């Protein structure tokens, strides 16, 4: 039986992972499989660099679109898939391999959810997370300082040169195509209730 496919999209630091975890818990962990597009980043040496020689991870070409689409298709068709979990800056051969089993509900999350046509076509219900860019940047600074060892200057450079251009070109234009726009601000609790109600009427 084909799973009900829910997609979550939003800019960097918008709260995709947090919403995914909350959705999985509410819908029932035993019913949900998770497909994270981050697991398909190409090795660092294969990434494009900007004019200053800084690697730009915020491009659609940063991901292995072909493998991503193939694995997603397999999972939707009822086949388990084997993926290497992505950890920033970790050597490819050290990443942990995990098996994702097909289940009743499949949640797919990633920056390029709508941009990759094969992924977009697979969705039964799509969610776009809307958040104030100031909050996105503050979350990114907290994350990248703590887990990636970046300086504030390096984070702000990436934000202005990579993240925002990516958002404006490859993510924001697709907001009108989402089935549900989730406002991730002081309305988030009420928004989540509305989201669950919308899903209950479809899933």
pLDDT of residue 93: 56
Q: Helix H segments across 14-64? A: 16-27
For 110, residues 6+ apart whose C-beta sits below 8 A from its C-beta are 8, 9, 16, 36, 37, 38, 63, 119
Interatomic CA distance for residues 98 and 19, integer angstroms: 22
For 19, residues 6+ apart whose C-beta sits below 8 A from its C-beta are 8, 127, 129, 182, 184, 192
pLDDT of residue 143: 81
The beta strand positions in the chain, using DSSP E, are: 4-9, 32-36, 81-84, 97-100, 105-109, 125-130, 180-183
Interatomic CA distance for residues 108 and 18, integer angstroms: 13
Mark the ranges of the chain whose per-residue pLDDT is less than 70.
87-94, 147, 203
pLDDT of residue 96: 85
pLDDT of residue 150: 81
- CATH number of the domain where residue 155 is located: 3.40.50.300
For 95, residues 6+ apart whose C-beta sits below 8 A from its C-beta are 84, 85, 86, 87
Closest CA to 131 of 26, 9, 37, 36: 9
> Is residue 38 within 8 Å of residue 108, measured between CB atoms?
no
Interatomic CA distance for residues 66 and 47, integer angstroms: 16
Range of the domain at 112: 4-200
pLDDT of residue 54: 93
Domains of the chain: total: 1
In angstroms, the Cα distances linking 156 to 8, 51, 182 are 25, 16, 26
pLDDT of residue 57: 93
Interatomic CA distance for residues 157 and 160, integer angstroms: 5
Rounded to the nearest 5 percent, the helix, strand and coil shares of the chain are 50, 20, 30
Token pair belonging to 78: 């009822």
Interatomic CA distance for residues 8 and 113, integer angstroms: 7
Task: Convert the pLDDT of each residue in 155-196 to its tens digit.
Answer: 899 999 999 999 999 999 999 999 999 999 999 999 999 999
């Amino acid at each position: 039986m084909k799973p009900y496919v829910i997609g979550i999209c939003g800019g960097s630091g918008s709260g995709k992972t947090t919403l995914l975890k909350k959705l999985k818990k509410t819908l029932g962990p035993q019913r949900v499989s998770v497909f994270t597009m981050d697991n398909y980043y190409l090795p660092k040496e294969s990434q494009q660099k900007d004019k200053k020689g800084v690697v730009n991870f915020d491009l659609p070409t940063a991901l292995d679109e072909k493998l991503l689409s193939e694995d997603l298709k397999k999972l939707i068709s009822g086949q388990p898939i084997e993926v290497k979990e992505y950890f920033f800056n970790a050597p490819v051969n050290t990443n942990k391999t995990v098996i994702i089993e097909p289940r009743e509900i499949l949640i797919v999350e990633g920056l390029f959810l709508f941009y990759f046509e094969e992924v977009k076509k697979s969705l039964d219900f799509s969610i776009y997370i809307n958040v104030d860019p100031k909050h996105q940047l503050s979350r990114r600074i907290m994350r990248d300082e703590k887990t990636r060892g970046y300086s504030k200057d390096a984070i702000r450079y990436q934000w202005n040169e990579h993240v925002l251009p990516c958002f404006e070109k490859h993510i924001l234009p697709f907001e009108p195509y989402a089935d549900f726009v989730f406002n991730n601000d002081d309305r988030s609790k009420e928004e989540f209730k509305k989201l669950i109600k919308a899903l209950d009427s479809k899933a």
